[in-house]
Structure 1
Amino acid sequence: MTDIAYRNPVFSRPANAAIDMEIDHPDFGWIPFTASPDDPEEHGRELYAAALPSAAPYVAPPPAPYSLDKMVLWLRLSEEEANAVDAAMTLQSARLRGIWNTAQSVQSDSEFFGTLLAFLTAVIGGARANQVLAP
């Protein structure tokens, strides 16, 4: 078994395929290191096995922001859904209607996107709202 000290292990890939950590290198001090169960080097496999019980869970990176053209949104709605969205929009605040009416696209990382998602969820349901607003 390796005698390399390590700290801060965290699973870095889905299905626990690798663990990122810092190792105490004899010449360079604490440096980043990625260990995996199929590492070509024995010390990599040993570090993976040693860190396995204490590794923090894998957290998938957030999706990249995207832009959705409003015409695409309308094309994704059925005729019935489009009528329901149009009717419900008339009941929204002037500010929300103004943003909706002047925007050509919707940015997924904007404050308005969250508001639009909540609005569509109320009108057509959560699953459909997510489908309509998908990249």
Structure 2
Amino acid sequence: MEIRNPKFNRFGSIDCEILHPEFGWIPFTASETDVEKAGQDIYRSALEMQPAEFVAGDPLPIERAAMRASRFQAKAALYQAGLLPTVERLLSQSENFMHKLAWDEAGEFYRDSPTIAHLAGAMDLDDLAVDELFRLAMSIRA
């Protein structure tokens, strides 16, 4: 498998591009704990390439405004980051009906929504951490 441009992300996994036989170069997040052996192999290969270190940066506001994730993607990303139980606990204890309703009923979550801002503040997550969670969510396919 051909790999290029490996760089560590905020969560310690490696963002890179892999050469897909049908789609050409595509983004891929490689993790040492990937459930698929192929993902673990890509991680090891990317690691041998000495990935660039993670450097925090502020994405363009337009990028942030375009970030959205389906209900499944959002919950899967929170699960992978170990944050799903915290979010569910916070919302179960919240007195804000609209945040609870959004969590229970929304088909999609938008990065710039009041519910996301509330949860990020309650969990003490900065903008860059929330951006990374959305990028992770948007990379997940059911």
Do they superpose with TM above 0.5?
no
Bigger Rg over Cα: 1
Q: TM-score, normalised by structure 2?
A: 0.41
Q: TM-score, normalised by structure 1?
A: 0.43
Higher RCO, Cα 8 Å, sep 6+: 2
